Structure 1
């Protein structure tokens, strides 16, 4: 599991980002957040090669994506699926 923080460069690119990101099957969750970044993605891919492909060929090709910061989860102690 990976978590990717994303910054969008201009407000007019937000809608295009939203439309594009919900079409990505590897994106399990997308949250609009407050703070240094604009969005937080929860991404599930097969391996680091697939993660590299997603970041380089999908995420960074969405118009308006300025930068991202990726955190890879090594293990999960607790994860609630149904809230």
Structure 2
């Protein structure tokens, strides 16, 4: 999809990734377009699915979720029913920020937000280990984010 984007579209997307609160007037001025032309381009990117939505980035520590945990999950089998059951359960767990189906030595990689190690232990005992078809859970606590979440290169 990136190859299909014109230079101005890429610049609009780059600007929005760094500040999603920019007004259409500010975007238009930054890319040297009229507000109506800029809005049409923006709506085209939203309509085509390039822009999936808008959200605020929160500070985990400020909201009591200062620890990031990466969790490798191996299932007891990889049949469709097992995968579907696990994915439904993990999608319902609010502390799971991301869940990726993986290739390699484990089946899923989760990024989890918790307050501290005790909070993770509770989550592990009450939810993660109880998810359907879980055979093994391996956990790694992030010490700090070296490159925090950022936008895609355009």
TM-score range (shorter-chain normalised) is: over 0.9
| 1:42 match | 111
Between the aligned partners of 2:150 and 2:124, the Cα distance in structure 1 is 25
| 1:7 match | 74
**What are the within-5 Å matches in structure 2 for residues 40-79 of structure 1?**
40-79=109-148
Give the count of matched residue pairs.
83
Between the aligned partners of 1:33 and 1:62, the Cα distance in structure 2 is 17
Please report the RMSD computed on the Cα atoms of aligned residues, expressed in angstroms. 1.0
Q: Which moved more, 1:65-74 or 1:5-14?
A: 5-14
TM-score by length of 1: 0.93
Preserved contact between residue 89 and residue 132 of structure 2 (Cα < 8 Å) = no
Q: Which has more strand, going by share of residues?
A: 1
Q: Does structure 1 residue 29 correspond to structure 2 residue 98?
A: yes
Aligned-pair distance for 1:4? Answer: 0.1
Q: Which has more helix, going by share of residues?
A: 2
* 1:20-47 Cα distance to aligned partner (Å, 9 max, x none): 1011110000000110000000000111
Q: Which runs of 5+ in 2 are unaligned?
A: 1-67
* 1:46-68 Cα distance to aligned partner (Å, 9 max, x none): 11111001111101111200001
TM-score by length of 2: 0.52
3-state DSSP class of the match of 1:7? strand
Q: Which runs of 5+ in 1 are unaligned?
A: none
